[in-house]
Amino acid sequence: MFSINTAAPTGLTASMQCRPHNMIRAPHASVRVICGSLNGSAATYPAPGLEVEKEKLEKAQVTERSPVSILTLADRMRFGGLIKDKLAYKECFVVRSYEVGSNKSATMETILNLIQETSCNHAHSWGWSKEGEFPTLPSMNKYQLIWVNYQMHVEMNEYPGRGNVVEMEHWCEPEGRTAARFDYIIKNLSTGEVIGRATSKWLMLNKVTRKPQIIKNQVRDEFLAFCSKSSRLAFAKENNRGLEKIPRLDEPAEYSRLSLLPRRSDLNMNSHVNSITYFSLLLESMPQDIIDNYQLHSITIDYRHDCQFDDSLDSYTSTEIEKEDLNGFSNDLCLLNSNPNHGRYRQFLHSLELSATRQETNRGRTIWRKH
């Protein structure tokens, strides 16, 4: 256990003993970690041992916590805050025991959850929403608008293990007249190496009609205030295979899992099936020999239709055959030969459909790297 003493707004004090889930540990208890500030007074606590050097941890800290007037206890406990003139956000997370798989590394579901958490915390730091709510701009509430994720692309060159600290950097930019793009850089805090990148596209919908909505000038102006003034991409356009169209699977699919049901625990705060659940269901039809002998290097998911809690879903997977090479991928994927389905890498197409109507809820493409 360790103690935390923080300055607090008038009428609110915080002095307690606790163990936050994202506490960064070190081999020596002499290091003290600064976690943001409130009215000019830093909240500090001793770290009982760090796996990273003190200077690397200090480098990861930020100078701006949040523009909101009153910070919650959760705000103070986060290892994150605004950077780059408040137009980007960084946060550090410790990988926990229940976030790793049988190979003792974090799963892709863990990475997707960290991406979602970082996005929400970033928007919350702008004052977009209250704790316990998905973020929306004040002007979006006025016009009953919501953000909906319609595409996600993630590449992982290395997965962190239990106890590793990952640094998530996040920023956003407008994408056309109805959408926005959120980008992410994922680093191993101990080594400083980039271990992953991600980009996602979000569509603005009318909350009532569920139809795409052209972003109104008031909403656009409010959103642009939080965006980078010059375009910045997690993936260079010429190297971003997430931009490629995912074709519909030819029938019959090579592999399938039928009549899958979302669980109650898969519902999010809006009582919709969580977007990460669709990814998990897509992979239910993956052949077991790929799961056992390969590691998921990249995934691209298109979100085409939502489903309800009691909908039955069918998952389909087939090996993708393509003539061109995969030179668009970063790092060691550039070494691929002209056939990705032999040797070290395997590429697959996926489809998730409503069992009753055969309507597609998702399409996906994955690339797997041999252990």
Judge contact between 269 and 342, C-beta under 8 A. no
307 given a catalytic annotation: yes
Query: Per-residue pLDDT tens for 265-287?
Result: 898 877 778 889 999 999 999 99
End-to-end CA distance of the chain: 39
Alpha carbons 110 and 31: distance in angstroms, whole number = 28
Mean pLDDT value across residues 254-261: 96
The runs of H, that is alpha helices, within the chain are 54-60, 73-77, 108-125, 138-142, 217-224, 275-282, 288-293
Query: Per-residue pLDDT tens for 34-86?
Result: 344 333 333 333 343 444 444 554 555 444 444 555 677 777 777 888 887 77
Mean pLDDT value across residues 17-28: 37
DSSP bridge pairs for 5? 15, 44
Q: Which of 35, 92, 172, 307 is catalytic?
A: 307
297 pLDDT band (50/70/90 cuts)? very high
Residue 116: what are its φ and ψ, rounded to 5°?
Answer: -65, -45
Look at residue 190 and tell me whether its pLDDT is greater than 60: yes
Residue whose structure tokens are 């010429």: 238
270 given a catalytic annotation: yes
Q: Which of 5, 39, 206, 270 is catalytic?
A: 270
Query: Per-residue pLDDT tens for 310-367?
Result: 899 999 999 996 534 444 444 444 334 344 445 589 999 999 999 999 999 999 999 9
The CATH classification of domain 241-370, taken from the options 3.30.390.30, 3.10.129.10, 1.10.1040.10, 1.20.58.340: 3.10.129.10
Judge contact between 39 and 54, C-beta under 8 A. no
Alpha carbons 109 and 111: distance in angstroms, whole number = 5
Alpha carbons 368 and 150: distance in angstroms, whole number = 23
pLDDT of amino acid 187: 97
Residue 198: what are its φ and ψ, rounded to 5°?
Answer: -150, 155
pLDDT of amino acid 35: 40
Q: Which of 113, 239, 272, 339 is catalytic?
A: 272
Angle at Cα 133 formed by Cα 91 and Cα 106, nearest 5°? 40
% of residues, the chain, pLDDT over 70? 71
pLDDT of amino acid 54: 45
Q: Which of 106, 86, 109 is nearest to 96 (CA)?
A: 106
Residue 361 to residues 200, 307, 317: CA-CA distances in angstroms? 17, 7, 14
194 pLDDT band (50/70/90 cuts)? very high
DSSP bridge pairs for 314? 353
Mean pLDDT value across residues 19-35: 38
pLDDT of amino acid 11: 39
% of residues, the chain, pLDDT over 90? 40
**Mean pLDDT of the chain, nearest integer:** 77
Mean pLDDT value across residues 180-207: 92
371 given a catalytic annotation: no
Look at residue 239 and tell me whether its pLDDT is greater than 70: no
pLDDT of amino acid 335: 36
Domain ranges of the chain: 51-234, 241-370
> Class assignment of domain 51-234?
alpha beta
Count of Cβ atoms closer than 10 Å to residue 6 Cβ: 22
112 pLDDT band (50/70/90 cuts)? very high
pLDDT of amino acid 198: 96
- CA dihedral of residues 75, 223, 117, 189 (deg, nearest 10): -80
Q: Report DSSP letters for 122-144, one per residue.
A: HHHHTT-S-TTS----HHHHHTT
